[in-house]
């Protein structure tokens, strides 16, 4: 399925990101339509995390980024959050000293003007999605297991009611059973109207859950296409899926 | 040493310790949120006391000019920033807030000063004048340096300290001040006397500490401050701006310093340059808490207060030596037991 | 005209000017800015009242400011000697700045009259200090009237609290042998810092020793802290302060709590009718009249008195020195020094001066009198 011609949710054109003099992304272009899950796969060091950081505004970048039709170049991270962009980084960035519930409530920080009842409802919804978080709501986030931490990171992101959720390696370091659970949840999120940009080394799982895929290698998009088509592309099968099978 | 003297020294130690505890908490907060070692913390104590004294003397405090100057500078910078980011419509609002507030306060002081001699009114005006200086200083000095190393931030803090001392001298002169006491009453409990001013200090400090606790425990903005302190990136990702957190933490620090100054004014003579040593004693308390733990910092500050009054009795010639030497065993102990400092880097 | 020609013409003119000038050149160094400015400015004011002619010779004053800084004081001293061929140097204001200038004065053989208090400036009179005289009272002068009063009112047991710095330690060091000699018992030696916010601990310890009197080695505003604490804690005995408490912020800060405390005062600074027995009564009145005429009623102070006296000493010594040599020469400077050394029994605004080859501190032991704070004013105790 090709992206449609109407204005996409996120449009990235010719994005360059450099760490000092070393350029890590050499002109990446991609687009995400509302209600879609788009995955970016590629080997370690291809620039996937850099891409997400730049889209979030954590790294300075050159090139055009439009979110809901608005140029993002001069907008700070916090304002992007306010517009509905949300990143769950690979390192989770939770507050391990604070309780699970505090972590979740702070996820809705930029919606602090929302009514208390509305926030309560959102909180219940997150607990419904991740029942294990409800069991641990008074516990400090630092005491959670790896899978629970990933759930908390996802839950915190959802509390912000994002329009586009960017997930960086949600399966990293998790047991296979938990990975399946996480991907199952990602699939259900789409049904709630959240668009997702998914960055994964686990190419098989990513292509299974997504509608469209990009392959990033050494800072360039080398291949893109409908996920089902990509999953059967011999180059992908050879370079990624074999490897991913072992990892999963 | 008789029992009476012990009671009296403890009372003195706890009174000063309560004030140092307030300062220690503010220092820990500012450091955790912004990584600034806030040397000018004590200068806010002096600003509070001197401003209150000049209000009590019926003068317009020179702090108003400082507020206006800083407000003007912040307004200008923010207005330029608005224009650059293409939000021209916000310029008027920014200027109105930054310049309108000091001017309105000025008018209010003009109008109210001849009308009322109430201590409460003067204390409120002092808070209204001095506290906004904190966030303005953050905006002007520390926000542009937010990405710098702790050392650069420390140097900037020292520069701000010297600037404030100089401005204090310029505005208030070299004379020391003592403000009128909240009340001169003395309570007698058994054989001991308690000056009501000391009770005020301990009570207000305790109330403020509880209020701060509730702010961090209950209020969203308090939690947001803690969140920034614990994990800056995480905070940014949920939309908590580090600039906002920085300004907020400086506002809390300025509030705490000003309250300490208002409380301290009647029991001691404060000079334009008294702030540094007062702040330093709060800092010793904060160091006991490793610049990270609030209860330990408050406990350390109380310890400093008690140690101070005890050593003033036993070996007054070595009082400062004893108080500041407290840092060495504490640092030794901390460096021996801390191997996991990497977690916050 | 070539450059060299122009230069030599200028040089000739300059030489002519030097040769033509037989005026007495008075170099003055004061701390008119910086931390000691409040002391340096009245000194400068008093110098401005100096005579324009002594024994028929014109007097030229060159006043330089050292900014309370020792390096600048030395530079000024050198400038006064080498550029202006000063015949005498008056100043400087503080002990450190004056101390720093001594080497230059001894090296160039120029007499110097300092306004600073420390005895170490003039004692012992060695190769260098033989050029230095002073017109300011020292710690010993301060303690004499205090101890005399303590003795007269039958006090025996004394406690001390003072600054934990050179000021307080110097005062205590001078006081200890004097107290011992006169049979007083020193019960407690407490210290505090100028910046301290509380002295409860020290005061409790002092009160516990039940002293007949408390002596406070502190100056200006910070001297108020122990006085207030002593009174707050119910101490009703007499309190004796240093001269430093009679100026600056002490009275304003201590307020009514300080009523009745004692301190040494200088006649040159007090608003009062002096007893006719006061040895330097006429000199004080002359100074007060001249100074207050120029700077307003109530402007009298002891610092101006010291500077005034320095000029008076010059006026005493110069006529005889002029008979021996011409101003601007090393011989004149040496003669001036020798003449000042012979001044004895001369009454100035600060007291009666007795200089001798072994004593360059000069001021009589009775230069300060006992004062008592009454109604916010220092009044002499008869």
Q: Which chain B residue has the Cα nearest residue A102? A: B223
Predicted confidence at residue B89, as pLDDT, reads: 80
Instruction: Spell C64-86 as b/e; 16+ CB within 10 A means b.
Output: bbbbbbbebbbbbbbbbbeebbb
Cβ–Cβ of A102/B223 closer than 8 Å? Answer: yes
Q: Which chain B residue has the Cα nearest residue C209? A: B1
Instruction: Give the C-alpha separation, C224 to B21, whole Å.
Output: 27
- Pairwise pLDDT comparison (C273 vs C199), residue with the higher score: C199
Same domain, C195 and C214: yes
Q: pLDDT, tens digit, for every residue of B258-272?
A: 999 999 988 888 888
Q: Compute the Cα dihedral for B54, B59, B62, B63 and give only its sign.
A: positive
Instruction: Give the C-alpha separation, C181 to A46, whole Å.
Output: 90
Residue C17 falls inside a structural domain: no
Least confident of A40-54, A96-110, B181-195, C312-326: B181-195
Residue C16 falls inside a structural domain: no
Cβ–Cβ of C198/B9 closer than 8 Å? Answer: no
Q: What CATH code would you report for B3-59+113-179+199-344?
A: 1.10.3470
Domain count, chain A: 2
- B337 within 8 A of B42, measured Cβ to Cβ: no
Same domain, C128 and C150: no
- B242 within 8 A of B146, measured Cβ to Cβ: yes
- B319 within 8 A of B311, measured Cβ to Cβ: yes
Same domain, A182 and A66: yes
A113 to chain B, minimum CA–CA distance in Å? 11
Query: What band does C12 get if pLDDT is binned at 50, 70 and 90?
Result: low
Q: Which chain B residue has the Cα nearest residue C249? A: B175
Among B178, B278, B313, beta carbon nearest to C201: B313
Mean pLDDT over B291-313 rounds to 89
Cβ–Cβ of C193/B320 closer than 8 Å? Answer: yes
Q: Touch between chain C and chain A (3+ CB pairs, < 8 Å)? A: no
Q: What is the mean pLDDT of chain A?
A: 87
Same domain, C261 and C185: yes
Same domain, A78 and A171: yes
For residue A96, list chain B residues with Cβ-Cβ distance below 8 A.
230-231
- Pairwise pLDDT comparison (A127 vs C17), residue with the higher score: A127
Predicted confidence at residue B2, as pLDDT, reads: 76
Q: pLDDT, tens digit, for every residue of B53-100?
A: 999 888 889 999 999 999 999 999 988 888 887 777 888 888 888 889
Predicted confidence at residue A242, as pLDDT, reads: 64
Predicted confidence at residue B112, as pLDDT, reads: 87
Percent of chain C with pLDDT over 70: 94
Predicted confidence at residue B292, as pLDDT, reads: 80
> What are the backbone angles phi and psi of residue C218, rounded to the nearest 5°?
-150, 165
Cβ–Cβ of C221/B274 closer than 8 Å? Answer: no
Mean pLDDT over B216-244 rounds to 90
Predicted confidence at residue C13, as pLDDT, reads: 52
Among B223, B237, B241, beta carbon nearest to A76: B241
Residue C376 falls inside a structural domain: no
Cβ–Cβ of C195/B274 closer than 8 Å? Answer: yes
Residue C272 falls inside a structural domain: no
Q: pLDDT, tens digit, for every residue of B135-183?
A: 999 999 999 998 889 999 999 999 999 999 989 888 888 778 888 877 7
- A149 within 8 A of A133, measured Cβ to Cβ: no
Cβ–Cβ of B239/A81 closer than 8 Å? Answer: yes
Least confident of B225-239, B325-339, C277-291, C367-381: B325-339
Residues in chain C: 382
Domain count, chain C: 2
Mean pLDDT over B276-290 rounds to 89
Same domain, C187 and C84: no
Q: Which chain C residue has the Cα nearest residue B175? A: C249
Reference C73, options C92, C55, C59, C89; nearest CA is: C92
Same domain, A18 and A75: yes
B177 forms beta bridges with B270
Q: Which residues contact A93 (CB under 8 A, 6 or more apart)?
A: A153, B231, B233, B234, B237
Q: pLDDT, tens digit, for every residue of A151-174?
A: 999 999 999 999 999 999 988 888
Q: pLDDT, tens digit, for every residue of C20-31?
A: 456 899 999 998
Domain containing residue C312: CATH number:
3.40.50.2300
Instruction: Give the C-alpha separation, B71 to C35, whole Å.
Output: 32
B36 to chain A, minimum CA–CA distance in Å? 21
Cβ–Cβ of C198/B16 closer than 8 Å? Answer: yes
Domain range summary for chain B, segments of one domain joined by +: 3-59+113-179+199-344
Same domain, A140 and A171: no
Cβ–Cβ of B270/C197 closer than 8 Å? Answer: yes
For residue A158, list chain B residues with Cβ-Cβ distance below 8 A.
none
For residue B274, list chain C residues with Cβ-Cβ distance below 8 A.
195, 197
Q: Which chain B residue has the Cα nearest residue C203? A: B313
Cβ–Cβ of C198/B309 closer than 8 Å? Answer: yes
> What are the backbone angles phi and psi of residue B194, rounded to the nearest 5°?
-125, 120
Q: pLDDT, tens digit, for every residue of B93-125?
A: 888 888 899 999 999 988 888 888 888 899 999
Give the domain extent around A151. 92-161
Least confident of A57-71, B183-197, B318-332: B183-197
Query: What band does C166 get if pLDDT is binned at 50, 70 and 90?
Result: confident
Residue C228 falls inside a structural domain: yes
Residue C220 falls inside a structural domain: yes
Domain boundary among A161, A186, A219: A161
ipTM: 0.88
Predicted confidence at residue B191, as pLDDT, reads: 64
- A41 within 8 A of A213, measured Cβ to Cβ: yes
Domain boundary among A161, A178, A201: A161
Cβ–Cβ of A77/B237 closer than 8 Å? Answer: yes
DSSP, collapsed to helix, strand or coil, labels residue A17 as strand
**How many beta-carbon pairs below 8 A join chains B and C?**
82
Predicted confidence at residue C16, as pLDDT, reads: 46
Terminal-to-terminal C-alpha distance of chain C: 76
Cβ–Cβ of A81/B238 closer than 8 Å? Answer: yes
Query: With 70 as the cut, is the pLDDT of residue A3 above it?
Result: no
Q: pLDDT, tens digit, for every residue of C247-274?
A: 878 888 888 888 999 999 988 888 777 7
Least confident of B273-277, B329-333, C202-206: B329-333
Give the domain extent around C216. 139-265
Domain containing residue A186: CATH number:
3.40.50.300
Same domain, A178 and A71: yes
Same domain, A25 and A103: no
Mean pLDDT over C122-137 rounds to 91
Query: What band does A102 get if pLDDT is binned at 50, 70 and 90?
Result: very high
Query: What band does C5 get if pLDDT is binned at 50, 70 and 90?
Result: low
Q: Which chain C residue has the Cα nearest residue B275? A: C195
Same domain, A70 and A101: no
Reference C46, options C308, C310, C333; nearest CA is: C308
Query: With 70 as the cut, is the pLDDT of residue B341 above it?
Result: no
Same domain, A38 and A77: yes
- The structure tokens 């309570």 sit at B187
Query: With 70 as the cut, is the pLDDT of residue A241 above it?
Result: yes
Mean pLDDT over C126-135 rounds to 92
Same domain, C321 and C352: yes
B91 to chain C, minimum CA–CA distance in Å? 44
Reference C211, options C193, C194, C233; nearest CA is: C233
Cβ–Cβ of B316/C198 closer than 8 Å? Answer: no
Same domain, A123 and A181: no
For residue B273, list chain C residues with Cβ-Cβ distance below 8 A.
195
Percent of chain B with pLDDT over 70: 96
């Amino acid at each position: 399925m090709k992206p449609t011609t109407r204005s996409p949710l996120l449009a990235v054109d010719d994005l360059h990101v450099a760490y000092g003099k070393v350029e890590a992304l050499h002109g990446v272009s991609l687009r995400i339509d509302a209600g879609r899950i788009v995955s970016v796969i590629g080997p370690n060091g291809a620039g996937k995390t850099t891409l997400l950081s730049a889209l979030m505004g954590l790294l300075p970048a050159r090139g055009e980024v439009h979110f809901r039709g608005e140029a993002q170049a001069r907008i700070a991270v916090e304002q992007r959050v306010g517009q509905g962009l949300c990143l769950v980084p690979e390192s989770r960035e939770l507050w391990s000293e604070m309780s699970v519930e505090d972590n979740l409530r702070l996820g809705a920080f930029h919606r602090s003007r929302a009514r208390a009842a509305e926030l309560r409802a959102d909180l219940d919804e997150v607990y419904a999605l991740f029942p294990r978080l409800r069991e641990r709501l008074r516990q400090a986030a630092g005491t959670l297991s790896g899978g629970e931490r990933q759930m908390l990171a996802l839950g915190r992101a959802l509390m912000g009611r994002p329009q586009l959720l960017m997930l960086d390696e949600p399966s990293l370091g998790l047991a296979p059973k938990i990975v399946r659970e996480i991907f199952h949840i990602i699939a259900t999120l789409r049904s709630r109207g959240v668009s997702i940009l998914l960055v994964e080394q686990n190419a098989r799982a990513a292509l299974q859950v997504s509608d469209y895929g990009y392959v990033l290698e050494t800072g360039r998009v080398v291949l893109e296409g409908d996920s089902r088509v990509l999953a059967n592309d011999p180059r992908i099968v050879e370079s990624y899926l074999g490897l991913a099978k072992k990892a999963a | 040493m008789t029992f009476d003297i012990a009671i009296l020294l403890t009372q003195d130690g706890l009174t000063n310790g309560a004030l140092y505890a307030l300062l220690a908490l503010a220092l820990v907060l500012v450091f955790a949120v912004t990584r600034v070692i806030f040397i000018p913390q004590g200068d806010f104590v002096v600003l509070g006391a001197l401003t209150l004294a000049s209000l009590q003397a019926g003068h317009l405090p020179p702090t108003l000019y400082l507020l206006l100057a800083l407000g003007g500078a912040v307004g200008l910078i923010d207005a330029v920033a608005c224009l650059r980011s293409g939000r021209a419509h916000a310029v008027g609002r920014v200027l109105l807030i930054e310049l309108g507030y000091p001017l309105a306060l000025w008018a209010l002081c003009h109008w109210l000063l001849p009308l009322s001699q109430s201590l409460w009114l003067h204390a409120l005006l002092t808070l209204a004048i001095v506290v906004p200086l904190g966030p303005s200083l953050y905006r002007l000095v520390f926000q542009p340096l937010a990405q710098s190393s702790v050392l650069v931030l420390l140097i900037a803090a020292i520069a701000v300290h010297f600037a404030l001392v100089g401005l204090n001298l310029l505005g208030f002169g070299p004379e020391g001040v003592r403000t009128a006491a909240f009340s001169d009453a003395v309570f007698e409990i058994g054989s001991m006397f308690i000056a009501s001013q000391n009770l005020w200090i301990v009570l207000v400090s305790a109330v403020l500490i509880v209020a701060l606790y509730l702010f961090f425990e209950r209020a969203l903005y308090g939690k947001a401050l803690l969140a920034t302190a614990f994990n800056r990136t995480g905070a940014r990702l949920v939309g908590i701006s580090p600039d906002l957190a920085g300004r907020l933490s400086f506002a809390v620090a300025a509030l705490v310093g000003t309250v300490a100054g208002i409380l301290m004014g009647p029991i001691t003579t404060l000079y334009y340059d008294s702030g540094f040593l007062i702040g330093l004693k709060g800092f010793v308390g904060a160091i006991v808490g490793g610049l990270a733990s609030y209860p330990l910092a408050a406990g350390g500050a109380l310890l400093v207060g008690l140690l101070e009054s005890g050593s003033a009795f036993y070996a007054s010639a070595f009082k400062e030596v004893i108080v500041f030497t407290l840092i060495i065993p504490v640092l030794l102990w901390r460096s021996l037991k801390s191997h996991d400092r990497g977690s916050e880097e | 005209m070539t450059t060299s020609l122009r230069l030599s013409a200028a040089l000739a003119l300059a030489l002519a000017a030097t040769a033509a000038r037989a005026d007495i050149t008075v170099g003055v160094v004061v701390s008119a800015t910086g931390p000691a400015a409040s002391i340096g400015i009245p000194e400068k004011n008093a110098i401005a009242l100096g005579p324009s002619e002594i024994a028929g010779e014109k007097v030229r004053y060159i006043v330089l400011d050292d900014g309370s800084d020792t390096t600048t004081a030395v530079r000024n001293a050198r400038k006064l000697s080498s550029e202006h061929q000063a015949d005498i140097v008056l100043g400087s204001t503080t002990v450190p700045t004056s101390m720093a200038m001594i080497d230059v004065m001894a090296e160039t053989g120029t007499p110097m009259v300092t306004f600073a208090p420390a005895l170490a400036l003039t004692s012992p009179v060695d190769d260098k200090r033989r050029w230095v005289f002073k017109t300011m009272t020292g710690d010993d002068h301060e303690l004499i009237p205090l101890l005399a009063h303590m003795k007269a009112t039958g006090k025996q047991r004394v406690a001390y609290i003072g600054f934990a710095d050179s000021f307080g330690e110097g005062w205590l060091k001078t006081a200890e042998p004097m107290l011992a000699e006169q049979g007083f018992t020193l019960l407690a030696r407490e210290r505090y810092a100028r910046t301290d916010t509380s002295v409860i601990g020290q005061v409790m310890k002092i009160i516990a020793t039940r002293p007949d009197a408390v002596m406070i080695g502190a100056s200006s505003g910070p001297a108020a802290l122990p006085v207030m604490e002593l009174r707050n804690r119910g101490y009703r005995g007499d309190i004796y302060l240093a001269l430093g408490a009679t100026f600056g912020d002490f009275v304003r800060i201590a307020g009514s709590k300080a009523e009745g405390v004692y301190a040494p005062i200088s006649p040159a600074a007090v608003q009062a009718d002096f007893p006719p027995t006061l040895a330097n009564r006429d000199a004080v009145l002359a100074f007060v009249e001249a100074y207050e005429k120029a700077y307003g009623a109530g402007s009298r102070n002891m610092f101006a008195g010291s500077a005034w006296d320095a000029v008076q000493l010059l006026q005493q010594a110069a006529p005889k020195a002029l008979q021996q040599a011409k101003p601007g020469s090393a011989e004149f400077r040496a003669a001036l020094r020798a003449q000042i050394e012979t001044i004895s029994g001369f009454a100035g605004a600060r007291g009666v001066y007795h200089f001798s080859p072994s004593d360059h501190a000069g001021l009589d032991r009775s230069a300060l009198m006992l004062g008592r704070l009454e109604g916010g004013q220092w009044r002499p105790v008869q």
